[in-house]
Amino acid sequence: MSVTTRFAPSPTGYLHIGGARTALYSWLYARQQGGRFVLRIEDTDRERSTEESVQAILDGMAWLGLEADEAPVFQTARFDRYKALTQQLLDSGHAYHCYCSKDELETMREEARAAGRKPMYDGRCRDRKEPVPGVEPVVRFRSPDDGETAFDDLIKGRVVFQNKELDDLIIARGDGTPTYNFTVVVDDYEMGISHVIRGDDHVNNTPRQIQILEALGATVPVYAHVPMILGEDGKRLSKRHGAVGVMSYRDEGYLPEALLNYLVRLGWSHGDQEVFTRDEMLAHFRIEQVQKGAGAFNPSKLVWINHQHLQSMDPAQVLKHWQWHLDQAGIDVSQGPDPIAVIESQRERCKTLVEMTDKSRFFYEAPTEYADKAVKKWFKGDAQAVLTDLLEGFKALPEWTGAAAHAVVHGVAERRELGLGKVAQPIRVAVSGDAVSPPIDETLELLGREQTETRIARAIEFLAARDAA
RNA sequence: GCUCCCAUCGUCUAGCGGUCUAGGACGUCGCCCUCUCACGGCGAAAACAGGGGUUCGAGUCCCCUUGGGAGUACCA
């Protein structure tokens, strides 16, 4: 049997991380099985669906690199199919018209609830022969009264429902438009979906969908219901937990590989391995091993994983993602050091690309001011004299290399009988504006002779002016 | 309320009847390394929700309780 999986979001907002994880699992499964992965946009709710949301979902999937094998399917383009299959069910007696008003249904539910029963439609229109004049009927699926409907979920195991718990649900509204549980069934059927991998908020819909599938004469797919992702506090994930949209993780400086890695590990594990490349996920992920219970989102672990990827990924790949941040920050790297070299030098101390951007700006733009704390701590005592010595030493250098600059720094420290910190820190502040940078030899080599000397000279001027005042 | 699902350190997890005085990771806290920030190294605190069974033996199987979650729409 050929495998086809799908990701079927409704375009009512951005792609959130819970959706991203189900999409990832679907994608992984399809790729592992040599099958197809397709995207279906469930936009039948015209009130809430928006064009921007469709784009946001597409953008999120693209950023994560979860590419689909076909153009997305839009449910709004398939109304004729839903209509045709509704008619088929009507003709075969699996569905019938119901003329009950919304008020009538509401009182029915209230009564049931008051009596401690489950609010269900009682099937009063099942055998109605004559239409009610002036009422546009809905179409209901005739659900079996006894027996049970069960399925073997790849993640949850066997799940059994008593058919008497399931009432006759509406598959087409009074205006003829189809409802969710019906469109899902029709599409999964006609798109040839073999494995339905979706959030476990759908387990309760599954038995109904199976019944409709069977009434349609379709093969029932294999189901895998993946647990939800909870917020840090263990409560349902929502806006107040901060970033839930996938693209905001890009904005915050995470690599898609890291988010994917975090997501795959949330609810699944492979021995003691924590860091997975895309290929490793493909090699080791097993949908059957996914945890049954919901997991809480842990931002600090995401940060750690991001750092791991930042350090192990090919710098050229990192640059692809970093470039976006550089552009956002308005940093032009064309006149400064090779960004690849900057990445190699910075990545062990930067957990996100945003941090890397902030900490690397000085390589491309001379500091316009010095951080107060740094000035207070390092631009004191004989800092000006130290910098003057250094500048002389640098100028005398026949060739500019990190090692050569380092030797000058050491020489000055020894001559003045100072610890290395007392010499290196003033340089840092002079060239970067703050007290933090990669090792001083690396920093200076990357920065280049001209910038180093100019900036130190400027710092000396700054100190002279300050001390004169 | 009813139906369905779930339950090991704060968090993500390993564990698939004896090797568990419960392992790893993030985070936290010490110490070491050190020109800054980091990286790294070493170490510490930290969990089987509770109660019944089954069994020679239960974190592991069964039941109940408790606690979470989902669904219960002419939303998806």
Q: What was the ipTM of the complex prediction?
A: 0.96
H/E run at residue A37: strand A36-41
Sign of the torsion formed by the C-alpha atoms of A19, A226, A32 and A42: negative
Q: How far is the CA of A99 from the C1' of B74 (A)?
A: 11
A286, A226 Cβ separation under 8 angstroms? no
pLDDT-above-70 percentage for chain A:
99
Tell me the C-alpha distance between A372 and A175, whole Å.
68
* C1’ B9 / CA A245, Å: 30
Does residue A398 carry a pLDDT above 90?
yes
Structure tokens at A406: 């380092």
Q: Which nucleotides of B are covered by protein (CB under 7 A)?
A: 1-8, 10-14, 23-27, 34-39, 68-76
Predicted confidence (pLDDT) per residue in A111-151, tens digit: 888 877 788 999 999 998 889 999 999 999 999 999 999 99
A351, closest nucleotide (Cα–C1'): B38
Give the amino acid at A246: V
List pLDDT tens digits, range A444-459: 999 999 999 999 999 9
Alpha carbon dihedral A60, A64, A70, A75, in 10-degree steps, equals -30
Q: Are strands A148-153 and A157-162 parallel, antiparallel or unpaired?
A: antiparallel
Sheet holding A36-41, edge to edge: A73-74, A36-41, A4-7, A195-199, A222-226
pLDDT at A126: 94
Q: Running DSSP on this structure, what letter comes out for residue A77?
A: G
Q: Is the pLDDT of residue A1 over 70?
A: no
Nearest to A7 by CA among A95, A51, A70: A70
Distance between CA atoms of A68 and A36, rounded to whole angstroms? 8
Instruction: Say how far apart CA A393 and CA A419 lie, in whole Å.
Output: 18
When pLDDT is averaged across residues A1-16 and rounded to a whole number, the result is 93
d(CA A5, CA A3): 7
- Token representation of residue A191: 């798109």
Region A29-53: what's the mean pLDDT?
Answer: 95
Nucleotide B4 C1' to residue A227 CA (A)? 13
pLDDT at A270 over 90: yes
Identify the residues numbered 210 to 239 in chain A whose C-beta atom is closer than 7 Å to any atom of strand B.
228, 230, 234-236
Mean pLDDT confidence for A20-26: 97
- The lowest-confidence range among A95-104, A105-114, A248-257 is A105-114
Structure tokens at A155: 């993640």
The answer to whether the pTM exceeds 0.90 is yes
| pLDDT, mean of residues A266-291 | 96
Q: Between the CA of A450 and the C1' of B73, what is the distance in angstroms?
A: 71
Beta pairing, strands A229-230 & A170-172: unpaired
Per-residue pLDDT, A379: 95
What percentage of chain A has pLDDT greater than the value 90?
A: 90
- Whether residue A243 is predicted with pLDDT greater than 80 in this model: the reply is no
The strand B neighbours among A residues 147-206, by Cβ under 7 Å, are 156-157, 159-162, 165, 170, 173-175, 179-181, 183, 200-205
pLDDT-based confidence at A469, cuts 50/70/90?
A: confident
pLDDT in tens, A399-445: 999 999 999 999 999 999 999 999 999 999 999 999 999 999 999 99
- Report how far residue A8's alpha carbon sits from residue A65's, in angstroms, rounded to the nearest whole number: 17
Overall average pLDDT of the A68-96 stretch? 97
| Mean of pLDDT values over A93-107 | 94
Q: Which residues of A are catalytic?
A: 239
Q: For residues A205-225, b (16+ Cβ closer than 10 Å) or e, as one string?
A: ebbbbbbbbebbebebbbbbb
The mean of the pLDDT values for chain A is 95
Angle in degrees, CA A127, A130, A133, rounded to 5: 130
Average pLDDT over residues A22-28: 98
Tokens of A189: 């059927």
Rounded, the Å distance between the CA of A369 and C1' of B53 is 74
Strand B contacted by A343 CB (< 7 A): no
